[in-house]
Amino acid sequence: MDCGRDTLAKLLAGVQTFQQDVYPGNAELFESLAHSQAPSTLFITCADSRISPSLITQTQPGELFIVRNVGNLVPAYGEMLGGVSSAIEYAVAVLKVKNIIICGHSNCGAMGALMNLNDPKLDGLPTVRSWMRNGEAARATLGELKAEDAGPAQIRDLTENNVLLQLAHLRTHPAVARALAQDSLTLQGWYYDIPKGQVSVLDEQSRKSRPVSEVLSEFGA
Ligand SMILES: [Zn+2]
């Protein structure tokens, strides 16, 4: 066993390439970011390694304030005051982000766990099980459906319902409620299909997903 030496060397070689080949062409951008940040958007997504927020939104350093965790969950205010709630408070009250996006994704392991939180397989993962309780109301929307009967359509429903639930939790945070009341903040839910490279926008009213092109046309773009 190489204890990760090969992959660590690959990361360090990547840093070297960044320093030697990428940084010089972007030095001005990095220098402009030396003393402050003014991101437009708080982007909340899963810790899953297959999601690259900057790649799928084609954004540069300084544009997205990113919070990642297992299952892209946002505990309701007061439930679990910790990393997620403090990042939200800071992003909204101090950085004054204009948008908060919650992005769920296909083949999410956390959604598989949420499908059946009583699964004995989770007995060895007490922290994950407890964390996933923040998504339990999304599981409840599927009714009595047994985990073993859940196909891709049901898993996608669960993933989308979870994003919608987390948007609702977001509104319980005082900084978010205040910014929404002042009309200075927009919330949006996304679903990212990894193999297709497609992002869908979730409509909170209809609970349906819409292609980006359709939503974008409403911006007059
Ligand atoms: Zn995930």
pLDDT digits (tens, 9 = 90+) for 110-165: 999 999 999 999 999 999 999 999 999 999 999 999 998 989 999 999 999 999 99
125 in Cβ contact with 94 (< 8 Å): no
Q: Which residues are known binding-site members for Zn(2+)?
A: 46, 48, 105, 108
For ligand 1, the distance from its centroid to the CA atom of residue 72, given in whole angstroms, is 7
Q: How far apart are CA 160 and CA 103, in angstroms?
A: 9
> Which of the residues are catalytic?
46, 48, 50, 105, 108
Chain centroid, CA 6 distance in Å = 30
- What's the pTM value of the predicted model, to 2 decimals? 0.96
Which residues face 137 on adjacent strands? none
Beta-strand runs (E) in the chain: 41-46, 64-69, 99-105, 186-193, 198-202, 209-211
pLDDT in tens, 178-211: 999 999 999 999 999 999 999 999 999 898 999 9
What are 100's two structure tokens? Answer: 């908060």
